[in-house]
Amino acid sequence: MSVLPLHSGRKSFRRWPDCPPGPWDTLVIGSGMGGMSCAAALARSGQRVLLLEQHLVPGGFTHMFGRKQFRWDVGVHAIGEMRPRDLPRRVLDWLGKQRVQFEALGDPYDRFRFPDGFEIGFAADPRSFQRDLVATFPEDQAAIDQYLRWVRRASKAAVSFFAYRSMPQWVERWGGRVQGCLRRDWWALTTGEVMDRLGIEGKLRCVLGAQWGYIGEVPSDSSFAAQALIHTHFRHGAWFPVGGAKAFAAALLATVEEAGGATLVRAEVERILVQGGRAVGVRMADGSEIRAQRVVSAAGAKTTIGRLLDEEWQQSEWARSITALPDSPAYLCLNLGFAGDLSATEAARANLWLFEEWRDDQREWQAQDPAALAPILYLSFPSYKDPTHQPGAEQFHTGECITFVPWDLFQRWRGSAYGDRGEDYLALKNELKERLLAQLRRHVPALMERVVFSELSTPLSASHFARAHQGAIYGLAAVPARYRNLHLRTRTPIKRLYLSGVDAASLGVVGAMMSGVLTAATIRPRLYRRLI
Got the DSSP string for 476-505?
B--SHHHHT-TT-SSB-SSBTEEE-SGGGS
The single-letter DSSP state of residue 280 is E
The answer to whether residue 178 scores a pLDDT higher than 80 is no
pLDDT tier at 182, thresholds 50, 70, 90: low
Mean pLDDT, rounded, for 54-71: 94
Question: CA dist 57 to 11, 105, 286, 486, Å?
Answer: 10, 27, 19, 34
Name residue 215's amino acid: I
The answer to whether residue 476 scores a pLDDT higher than 60 is yes
Burial class (CB in 10 A: 0-12, 13-18, 19+), 68: exposed
Mapping DSSP to helix (H, G, I), strand (E, B) and coil, where does residue 187 land?
helix
CA 282 and chain centroid, separation: 26
The answer to whether residue 233 scores a pLDDT higher than 90 is yes
Parallel, antiparallel or unpaired: strands 289-297 and 278-284: antiparallel
Give the dihedral of Cα atoms 413, 414, 419, 425; nearest 10 deg: 20
The single-letter DSSP state of residue 307 is I
What are the pLDDT digits (tens) for 98-122? 999 999 999 999 999 999 999 999 9
CATH 3.50.50.60, the chain: domain bounds: 6-65+79-101+240-325+476-531
Q: What percent of the chain shows pLDDT beyond 70?
A: 98
Mapping DSSP to helix (H, G, I), strand (E, B) and coil, where does residue 50 land?
strand
Nearest to 34 by CA among 507, 532, 525, 382: 507
Length of the chain: 532
Residue 230 backbone dihedrals phi, psi, to 5 degrees? -65, -45
Burial 228-257 (b: 16+ CB within 10 A, else e): bbbbbbbbbbbbbbebbbbbbbbbbbbbbb
pLDDT, position 8: 86
Q: Is the peptide bond before 23 cis (omega within 30 degrees of 0)?
A: yes
pLDDT, position 181: 52
The answer to whether residue 62 scores a pLDDT higher than 80 is yes
What are the pLDDT digits (tens) for 335-386? 999 999 999 999 999 999 999 999 999 999 999 999 999 999 999 999 999 9
β-pair partners for 113:
119, 354
In angstroms, the CA 65 to CA 78 distance is: 18
Mean pLDDT, rounded, for 169-196: 79
Q: What percent of the chain shows pLDDT beyond 90?
A: 89
CA angle 232, 237, 243 (to 5 degrees): 120
Please, what is the average pLDDT of the chain?
A: 95
Residue 7: which region, alpha, beta or left (left: phi > 0; alpha: psi -120 to 50)? beta
Mean pLDDT, rounded, for 143-162: 94
In angstroms, the CA 99 to CA 101 distance is: 6
pLDDT, position 173: 72
pLDDT, position 118: 97
Q: Is the dihedral of CA 513, 159, 97, 230 positive or negative?
A: positive
pLDDT, position 166: 84
Give the count of beta carbons closer than 10 Å to the beta carbon of residue 346.
Answer: 18
pLDDT, position 175: 67
pLDDT tier at 420, thresholds 50, 70, 90: confident
pLDDT, position 416: 84
pLDDT, position 323: 97
What are the pLDDT digits (tens) for 255-306? 999 999 999 999 999 999 999 999 999 999 999 999 999 999 999 999 999 9
Name residue 75's amino acid: G
In angstroms, the CA 120 to CA 114 distance is: 9
Burial 159-184 (b: 16+ CB within 10 A, else e): eebbbbbbbeeeebeeebeebeeeeb
The answer to whether residue 177 scores a pLDDT higher than 70 is no
pLDDT, position 183: 67
Name residue 161's amino acid: F
Q: Do 51 and 253 form a contact (C-beta atoms < 8 A)?
A: yes
- Could you please state the CATH topology (level 3) that the domain comprising 6-65+79-101+240-325+476-531 is classified under: FAD/NAD(P)-binding domain (3.50.50)
The answer to whether residue 506 scores a pLDDT higher than 80 is yes
Burial class (CB in 10 A: 0-12, 13-18, 19+), 206: buried
Name residue 501's amino acid: G
Q: Do 439 and 374 form a contact (C-beta atoms < 8 A)?
A: yes
